[in-house]
Amino acid sequence: MTDMLKTEVAVLKTDEAGRVRTPAGRREHLLNEYERSGLSGQKFAALAGIKYQTFAGWTRQRRLRRQGAASEVKSVDSVRWLEAVVEQAREAGGPASHVSLVLQLPGGARVELADEKQAVLAAALLRALTKPC
């Protein structure tokens, strides 16, 4: 918070209506200072010389950006990888007679796919198992 109290000389741009345009970097710096300060939004805005409604809009936009980023991370975290091993059963001295895919699931469940058409059903089963009860 002591950084905010230092006197800085900067030219502030205004829009056509005469409102002061605060650069994005300065906004982020002020929001970081606010989070560290422990002050209420109204007190901090008054100390920083910003109208409270403007400051409240900045904090709301930041919160929405963070929520959006958090939901993207959650969707990535929900992806889980499974190890699949293809085993070939061979008759004594002969060619492979049966090829299957065996999935070992958590908890000891085991799914064996003997045909590629069963992969669609196995995928649906895995999706259903990942949903909370």
- 92 and 69: one domain? no
**Which contiguous run of DSSP H or E holds residue 33?**
helix 24-37
Same domain, 54 and 91: no
Strands (E), 28-95: 85-90
The answer to whether residues 40 and 93 belong to one domain is no
Q: Contact at 8 Å (CB) between 112 and 100?
A: yes
Same domain for 43 and 92: no
Residues 60-108 have pLDDT tens digits of 999 988 888 766 655 555 556 666 565 555 555 555 556 677 777 777 7
Helix (H) or strand (E) holding 59: helix 52-77
User: Are 24 and 49 members of one domain?
Assistant: yes
- What is the Cα–Cα distance from 61 to 59, expressed in whole angstroms? 6
Q: How far is CA 28 from CA 1, 41, 44, 59, 85, in A?
A: 14, 15, 14, 10, 50
Give the domain range for residue 60. Answer: 2-77
Helix%, strand%, coil% for the chain, nearest 5: 50, 15, 30
pTM of this prediction?
A: 0.45
If one counts the domains in the chain, the total is 2
**Are 58 and 102 contained in the same domain?**
no
Whether the CA torsion 36, 40, 46, 47 is positive or negative: it is: negative
pLDDT in tens, 25-60: 889 999 999 988 888 999 999 998 889 999 999 999
67 and 110: one domain? no
Residue 6 shares a structural domain with residue 68: yes
Same domain, 49 and 109: no
97, 72: one domain: no
**Are 7 and 63 contained in the same domain?**
yes
CA 54, distance to chain mean position in Å, is: 27
120, 55: one domain: no
